[in-house]
Structure 1
Amino acid sequence: MNFGILIFDEVEELDFVGPWEMLTMWSKVAEGPGNCLVVAQSPGPVRCAKGLSVNPHVSFADCPPLDYLLIPGGQGTRTEVGNQVLLDFVSTQAKTCKAVLSVCTGAFILHAAGLLSGKRATTHWGSLERLRALGDVEVVEARYVEDAGVWSSAGVSAGIDLMLAFIASVAGTDAAGKVQFAAEYYPSAVRYGTYESHAQAPAYLKSAV
């Protein structure tokens, strides 16, 4: 199984590192993908949103056919939605993928690649209205959403929840449980401040009050 995670300049670090941790932990403890690849347009280092520099495993030219592809978000998505080379890579790989996934504003890359129209999806709370404005996406204010093999999640940390749910869907809840346990991913229920009452707080956060 080939699982690819796309990166690009100004990608949000946790958008892809969180899912990467769950993905590679799956390989380690529960017979997950044999080939986990970080993919970028070119082979050189990619500078992320908060300054982290990452060396991709493969470029678009070297990337094998993928079974699954995850698109993270970040400020860089605002540029990449106009990058036809990247969009062509995503749409071409998606034709043979069993599922495609996005985190945060990665949803806008999926849409620009023609993969989100007519589907239910979510994104970072700060971009929910922008996603609605596209006019052909049913926006759901949830941590993650799946619709006909297209997965999307809310922002940044939500990519971890997305990946665990994805693992459960393809490998079973025991596999996902092994990954969750090995990663010790049991988020605290503590809420800091009162941001669940913020005017832009997504519905899933308001309902937890």
Structure 2
Amino acid sequence: MKGFKMNFGILVFDDVEELDFVGPWEMLTMWSKVAEGPSPCLIVAQNPGPVRCAKGLSINPHVSFADCPPLDCLLVPGGQGTRREVSNPVLLDFVAAQARHAQAMLSVCTGSFVLHAAGLLSGKKATTHWASLDRLRALGDVTVLEERYVQDGTVWTSSGVSAGIDLMLAYIASTAGDEVAGQVQLAAEYYPASVRYGSAELQARGPAYLRPKA
């Protein structure tokens, strides 16, 4: 697929979980490499300057909220920082404003709580990290599914951390077709092993799709 253009943004903030955004970033930029996918793909933060991630990685965003152009798509990752950002009116206003003209809004892990706080998940189906499923249910206005990723209209959510890669591949397939998504998957050599480590008791702590079959 040639000539496919969109502005895709990934939101970052202090204590963002690294793989939540790096995984989708890898799929997005691979898409651009193999099939002329999104251009530009921007890392966006509230302010200029380095952002300190959850595990110690420091990154420099491309643009601040003030400099960010209208986005066709925005992805909100998770991490402990979301517990703070759900009460950040500047960030929530930015997310809500981008949603008014975006083609799609996506979240990984507990980024779903930011989407909810911005008014985007009420009445919708969604998912989040397995350890936060009950917290998402407790909001009372979200139909919580224990799936790897969930699409409800223009809103996409995924479960935790590595699930953002699957979310992004599914979004690419929906937007550009299975063949393009297959090219991205092949170029990234993303074919997760079926091995499940640890005991059945440990695995049973996770979401329904990971639980051992009876």
TM over 0.5: yes
Give ranges in structure 2 of 5+ residues lacking alignment. 1-5
SS at match of 1:152: strand
Q: Is 1:205 equivalent to 2:206 in the alignment?
A: no
TM-score using structure 1 length: 0.98
Q: How far off its partner does 1:110 sit?
A: 0.1
The match for 2:152 is 147
1:179 matched to which residue of 2?
A: 184
Show structure 1 runs of 5+ residues with no match.
none
The residue matched to 2:171 in structure 1 has which SS? helix
1:157 aligns with 162
Matched, 1:58 2:58: no
Deviation at 1:198, TM superposition (A): 4.4
Q: Choose the corresponding residue for 1:131, options 125, 130, 136.
A: 136
Aligned to 2:173: 168
Residue 112 of structure 1 is matched in structure 2 by 117
Alignment partners' CA distance in 1, 2:123 and 2:188: 35
Corresponding residue of 1:29? 34
Root-mean-square deviation (CA), in Å? 1.2
Separation in structure 1 between the aligned mates of residue 166 and residue 159 of structure 2, nearest angstrom: 9
Question: Identity of paired residues, percent?
Answer: 76
Answer whether contact 1:99 1:150 (CA < 8 A) is retained.
yes
Amino acid at match of 2:120: L
Q: 1:123 to 1:10 in 2, by over 3 A?
A: same
CA contact (8 A) 2:204 2:212 kept: no
Q: Which runs of 4+ in 1 moved over 6 A?
A: none
Q: Which moved more, 1:84-93 or 1:190-199?
A: 190-199
Shift of 1:168: 0.1
Question: In 2, are the aligned partners of 1:197 and 1:206 still within 8 Å (CA)?
Answer: no
Q: Distance in 2 between the 1:151 and 1:208 partners?
A: 27
